[in-house]
A and B are shown apart, each in its own frame.
Chain A
Amino acid sequence: MAGLMVGFGHYTHAIVRGIPASLAKEALRSSQSEVDVVNARREHEAYVEVLGTRLGLEVVELPADESLPDCVFVEDAAVVCGDTALITRPGAESRRRETEAMKGALKDLNLNIVEMTDENATLDGGDVLFTGREFFVGLSKRTNQRGAEILADAFKDYAVSTVPVLEGLHLKSFCSMGGPGLIVIGSSEPAQKALKIMQQMSDHRYDKLTVPDDLAANCIYMNLPNKGHVLLHPTAEEFPESVKVFEKLKDHMLIPVSNMEKVKVDGALTCCSVLINKKGNI
């Protein structure tokens, strides 16, 4: 019997989106760097293959839109929890239209759609950390209080706490869930501070897995039938020290996923998919 807040990490579907050529030049980025679209696409294909083929998720792949250079980062366009999907209002103006295709896809999956229509609200999905028991919403350049409030309204069952994001693009630029009650966190000072705040704000206890590199702290955790704990994490090539830490997770199926190109435009692993659980839902 499905109940409230059970089955954290259970997913059946994933929504991804192609990489437009415009990504190379026009995608937003915090540092100047050249992106090789070909390599980026190759990486992305590998990523999608892991989700679909290796993990067996049903992958919905939305076509790239050249007018939306950042559209591959679907995570920012929607927050899905249970069978409710909140269509966000991305903080970057140029990305607002990314939600249209996302909304369509989510509707097709029969999710309850909640839209963020408030003109004053902004929210990027990358600022939303769902721990299984509650939400933490990073207040960043892309996400504001109002956006967080609307999220809280959409997911009334859960506590929604705000966490200031002082460095990095998103909250999840330096953290993510590594398992039920396990937060993977970067070791930078801002990351550690954010963790402290999260711990203080929470009624629940979280274990933490500290990795040397903030960017390496963005992983994808799943709990899949027949596979158990699965963790998609960056490769040793990129973050050798951090990978050593991941390798301590004995119970997890560890899947290194290369993300060398997309990271140049601030894309992390979680950014590239929206994960959905259709089965366990009530």
Chain B
Amino acid sequence: MTTEAGSETEVKEKAEESAAQPDRSEKAKEETQEVPNAEGEEKEKEKEKEGKEGKGIARYLPTWLKKQKSQSQTSPTKEGPPTEEAVSKVTQEEDGPAPEVNGHAEEEEEEEEEKEEKEAVKSEQVKEKEAESHSTASADTEPAKEEKVEESAEKAADETTVTTEGEGAEEQKKEQEGEEEGGGGGGGGEEEEEEEGHTSIFQSPLRLVRKTKMKLMACHVALLDGTDFTCEVEKRAKGQYLFFKVCEHLNLMEKDYFGLSYTDSHEQKCWLDPTKEIKRQIRSNNWQFVFNVKFYPPDPSLLTEDITRYLLCLQLREDVASGRLPCSFVTHALLGSYTLQAEVGDYEPDQPRPLDNVSQLTFAPNQSKEMEEKILELHKSHRGMTPAQADTQFLENAKKLSMYGVDLHHAKDSEGVDIMLGVCANGLLVYKDRLRINRFAWPKILKISYKRNNFYIKIRPGETEQFESTVGFKLQNHRSAKRLWKVCVENHSFFRLNAPEPPTKARFLTLGSKFRYSGRTQAQTRVASSLIDRPAPNFERTSSKRISRSLDGAPVINITEASSENGREPHLELQSDSKVKEVDLSPSDAEATPTQSLGASELALSQDHDKTQEDVLKHQASISQLKRSFMEAPPPSPPQPNQWEKRLTSSPATTIRIQQQQHVTTEVEIEETVVVQEVSIAPKPGLVTVTASSPADPPAEQETREQEVTVEEEEVVVAEEAKVSKQESVSSESESEEEAEYHPNVSVSICHTQIPEEKEEEEEQEEEAEDKTAAEQGMLPPDAPSLPAEVSQAVEATSQEAEEDLEAEKSKNAEEEKEAERGMEERTGDPMMTPEEAPNGHALPEESAKGMVASAEEEEEPTMNGEASLAEAEPRPQVICCSEPPVVKTEMVTISDTFAAQKTEIATKEVPIVHTETKTITYEAAQLDGNSDGEPGVLMTAQTITSESLCTTTTTHITKMLKGGLSETRIEKRIVITGDCDIDHDQALAQAIKEAKEQHPDMSVTRVVVHKETELAEEED
């Protein structure tokens, strides 16, 4: 992987250069200049600043880069002579990282750490400066190490996830180094990462290679019993480390139900991601955490140990007392009485003023005398009950409360009405005030995504429904949307999956944030805890601590000092930890780079989305008088139906169809398709939901591909097929951070996982993730079209696919059949798939829109518009209609509120029919060997990558064939340009060919097809 990464970068750089986007070229220049001169550095910094300012670019920059901002700002004033630094860089390169050697290094580290801290706070430039100069100096003085080391460092850097936020100055140097090494290419994220890696020359190598001292941070963790646990962890420790420390302290083995939370800068409670560095998550010097129950076991009696139940009780007591878990008077009293029994034992008739005891404890938000009396009365009846039994009884009652384990999030529906979204073990609940107005069980949810401050769920069609629908909610801001999304992903994974989706090996083909649940699922933790073989641990019940809390001043019982335990000892384990970190993060490199390339265009897109979305919303409002209907998002994400649709056309399936000319896409006004044998990948922006493609097939096809992605990726990795794969990875990376998708699958057979990326930590930009899982499972058939991301990742390894590619060009008619086959194959191929799971719908989102999803009428009115072709409803994958009516785009109306659903029947009256004019130009180069037509050959690998920019969609299909001992790589690139105005074909063509040649000098362009489709008129029925 390492090597790949390196080459990837290079390739990418080239590509970028060719692309000649202004930003990049500038950068490149600057960078090149920088290398030689010290001044260059400053420039670069400036550039970086620019990048930050320009959102687009900034997005691509790795986190640490951003953080560097402060540094760069300070740099001008730097004391250390720039030249020196430059030199030092060079030296470093040559010398390689100098591990330990002298105490010097250590000093540096310390300083650095300090620096880091300061950076975090964004104050203290001075120290940074010092550090920088210092480091520089040290670099010089450090003994030279072999290049080998350096190389390895580099590689490590690539893979490393980075994370050295604070190491500013050195990083910069390293950047330069990286540039040099990278051939002076643009300062992409990867380079930076490399630099970082280098950076680590000073620091991390030391850390990695040997166990050096790391700065320890004191963490304060508020435990459920009201005490504080203090321990020190290495500054770069991951969340997991601290969490384990805490669990160790608590003597807790069934720890998967718990988690650590912290309060972010927006006063929001966030879960500490175990797989990421703590420092990067909390983003402040306030290392305060709270130990909480993260997943409330639906049946606490299934927990193995009493201590686990005890901790759950503590959490619930607090939930109840604070009002987070509402319950009636009687329930308050009952729960309180069990608490009393567990904490103080049997009721003592002799005790004077027993009520005093009770009133010292907080049982309810509004605890009345009456309640306390009731508690006492009930307490009497628990005589003889052991604490463990009382806890069990407590839990047996608490678990029945309707809000047990429900994590509430404020949101608004489409009409701006305040609602609450509750995430729980069973799914997603929608509340208005206290009333439950809707519920989406996990199995009903096909996809969860967010984009900006919108949160979407795609719903599986019901038995009698033909279409999936997407329901959207507005969150307060994107952070809330992301947080909700994460919680959903985690809850679904924990409660519904047998195993979490494994981390992706693929470094490429990853788009945006791939946040996934990383811990054990409930199923796993149950198995694990069934193996617990230890005598029931003794634990001290500490309700008294609570008492002391609630009472001012008079601590009834002292608080045990929990802190001491892990206090001072240097944690050796840390090193290993850090290593791991680096490895994990590697994927992020890839991500970083691509992003940059996207730059401005993407930004533009997102804005566009917003607009459109507004429009859509309005529109919907007018169409449907669904009072309660939730905001309907057009297709899951993308608010811009038109654009997206157009874009979608570029997806392989769609494109093919277009070529057939039978299918007309409504939205497409002008379309150009260029098929080249080269690849240039442009990052693709967000998730596309809309599809203009013909009804039935596309989903299946795409799905198939996606499914195959996994395989492909692995292959590539293993074989390390050079360029192509690398490139792809690069290209696929682009993502907007503001959105993410997740496809809940119950059974995960193949998994891709996410890669924890740094982006998450970046400020407001979020990441987008997408999931591939869904695709793999075939369960989510219709999704494919809607998941641009997936599409882009799509790769296929199957021969069928290969055929398809070839044939796409040639025989288009056969296409559908193949798709059908594929669909079948997919189904059969996936062992996990049960008939029911099989893709049932061919329904595209839009169609569903047509169908109007009014739940009521669907049964009766199977035929609404164009549904003739929709054979779905039932899982009948094989039935892929060959006769598709023109694809029409309609408004999508989803009725999420059941009331509205019942009341309203909506039928779309307007089925736009679009007439289009098409024109096709084909250019074919003389071929030495008949490429596509020749002997079939053996398909080695195939992959499809899609990328998009504002009005251009590029789909790249890469196929590797083995023909008579020679391996042939065939790259097919489809570029779809959409727009309202005329496009200069010649220019576009020339450009495409040029790019292709530049990117793959060693390949030849064999065939070019230009296909133009113009919309003539629009009619309404």
Contact = CB atoms under 8 A, between A and B. Distances in A.
Interface of A: 1, 3-5, 82-84, 112, 133-134, 137, 139, 145, 148-149, 152-153, 155-164, 166, 190, 193-194, 197, 200-203, 281-282
B560 interface: no
Given A3-B397, A166-B902, A197-B898, A155 B328 contact: yes
Contacts of A193: 856, 902
B531 interface: no
B899 A156 contact: no
A133 to B, nearest CB: 7
Contacts of A281: 330
A112 B400 CA distance: 21
A157 B439 contact: no
Given A4-B397, A133-B400, A161-B437, A156 B328 contact: yes
A82 B435 contact: no
Contact of B436 (A133, A194, A201): A201
Given A134-B402, A139-B899, A282-B378, A83 B330 contact: yes
Contacts of B331: 4, 156-157
B133 to A, nearest CB: 63
B828 interface: no
Most chain-B CB neighbours within 10 Å: which of A201, A203, A281? A203
A203 B400 contact: no
* 9 closest residue pairs by CB, A with B: A159-B402, A152-B434, A164-B899, A161-B436, A4-B397, A156-B326, A197-B898, A149-B433, A156-B328
A142 B178 CA distance: 74
A200 B437 CA distance: 10
A166 B401 CA distance: 30
Given A5-B400, A157-B327, A166-B902, 12 more contacts: A82-B330, A112-B329, A148-B435, A149-B433, A149-B434, A162-B435, A164-B898, A164-B903, A197-B898, A200-B439, A282-B330, A282-B334
Interface string B435-460: 11111010000000000000000000
Contacts of A155: 328
Most chain-B CB neighbours within 10 Å: which of A5, A156, A163? A156
A72 B69 CA distance: 77
Interface string B483-525: 0000000000000000000000000000000000000000000
A137 B898 CA distance: 13
Contacts of A164: 898-899, 902-903
A27 B898 CA distance: 32
Contacts of A166: 902-903
Interface in B718-734: none
B445 to A, nearest CB: 13
User: DSSP majority for the B interface?
Assistant: mixed
B381 interface: yes
Most chain-A CB neighbours within 10 Å: which of B333, B381, B437? B437
Interface residues of B, number: 31
A200 B328 CA distance: 25
A233 B334 CA distance: 35
Contacts of B381: 1
Given A3-B393, A157-B400, A166-B903, A152 B334 contact: no
Given A157-B401, A160-B435, A4 B902 contact: no
B830 interface: no
A149 B437 CA distance: 11
B959 to A, nearest CB: 45
A160 B397 contact: no
Nearest to A204: B426
Most chain-B CB neighbours within 10 Å: which of A3, A139, A158, A282? A282
Contacts of A83: 330
A157 B328 contact: yes
Interface in B841-867: 856
B436 A4 contact: no
A194 B333 CA distance: 35
Nearest to B860: A189
Interface string B852-890: 000010000000000000000000000000000000000
Contacts of A156: 326-328, 331, 434
A242 to B, nearest CB: 24
30 contacts: A3-B396, A4-B397, A4-B400, A82-B330, A84-B330, A133-B400, A134-B402, A139-B899, A149-B435, A152-B434, A156-B326, A157-B328, A157-B331, A157-B400, A157-B401, A157-B402, A159-B402, A161-B435, A161-B439, A162-B436, A164-B898, A164-B902, A166-B903, A193-B856, A197-B902, A201-B436, A201-B438, A201-B898, A203-B426, A282-B333
A133 B404 CA distance: 13
Nearest to A4: B397
Contacts of B396: 3
Contacts of B898: 163-164, 197, 200-201
Given A1-B381, A164-B903, A193-B856, A82 B437 contact: no
Interface string B292-331: 0000000000000000000000000000000000111111
Contacts of A203: 426, 439
A282 B333 CA distance: 9
A118 B329 CA distance: 21
B625 to A, nearest CB: 15
Nearest to A1: B381
Contacts of B903: 164, 166
Contacts of A153: 434
A152 B438 CA distance: 15
B652 to A, nearest CB: 36
Contacts of B333: 282
